Amino acid sequence: MIEFRKITWDNFDECISLQLTDEQKGFLSSNVYSLAQSYVALLNDELPAMTFAIYNYDTMIGFIMMYHDTAEENEYGDEEAYGILRFMIDKKYQNRGFGTKAIKKAQEYIQTFPQGEAKAVYISYAPENKIARHLYAKFGFKEIGIDEEEDEIVTKLNI
């Protein structure tokens, strides 16, 4: 059973120890960097990033970082939206269906509108990341363009 749990002092070290495969490391910022960004957002933004450790029962298997943008803040569209900014499954738990289950859980969570209503969800990824492309397409995310600043493909799912 997949669930999202808050990152606390009890699971912080385990969360920052999660690893990608060597081939994937260039696709995603570290969890340490992501949590540092989340902290800065907490102190400076009206709606801080939503960061969670991903668990399969009592085993931490990954990390996810989501956000909510107003229509004015949304750099990819003109509607209120959520985004999945970081998503990773530890290399020890990949190729077991956990990524699919975790994205499904993220969709369910986002549809509770934890930080406000929204009409879409955005995810971006490196063009070389074929696993991410396949995973997100399976959920109906459509490629809508390129974020040239980040050199990433931007995808969108209407909700």
Query: What secondary structure letter does DSSP report for 93?
Result: G
How much is the pLDDT for 58?
Answer: 96
Query: What secondary structure letter does DSSP report for 31?
Result: H
Strand partners, 4: 54
**Rounded CA separation 35/28 (Å):** 13
Per the structure block, which two tokens stand in for 35? 């949590």
How much is the pLDDT for 55?
Answer: 98
Query: What secondary structure letter does DSSP report for 136?
Result: H
Judge whether 155 and 129 are in contact, CB under 8 Å. Answer: no
What domains are defined for the chain? 2-117 (3.40.630.30)
How much is the pLDDT for 44?
Answer: 85
Task: Give how far Cα 122 sits from Cα of 90, 114, 125, 126, 144, Å.
Answer: 22, 16, 10, 14, 10
pTM more than 0.85: yes
How much is the pLDDT for 45?
Answer: 83
* pLDDT tens, position by position, 38-93: 988 888 888 889 999 999 999 999 999 999 998 888 888 899 999 999 999 999 99
Average pLDDT, the chain: 94
- The rounded percent of the chain whose pLDDT value lies above 90 is 77
Dihedral sign (CA 127, 130, 136, 140): positive
How much is the pLDDT for 28?
Answer: 85
Per the structure block, which two tokens stand in for 20? 């990608």
How much is the pLDDT for 108?
Answer: 96
**Rounded CA separation 152/129 (Å):** 10
Residue 149 has pLDDT above 90, yes or no: no
Q: Kindly report the number of other CB atoms within 10 A of residue 87's CB atom.
A: 21
Residue 99 has pLDDT above 90, yes or no: yes
* Burial (0-12, 13-18, 19+ Cβ within 10 Å), 64: buried
Q: Averaged over 140-151, what is the pLDDT?
A: 91
Q: Whose CA is closest to 83, among 105, 110, 102, 101?
A: 110
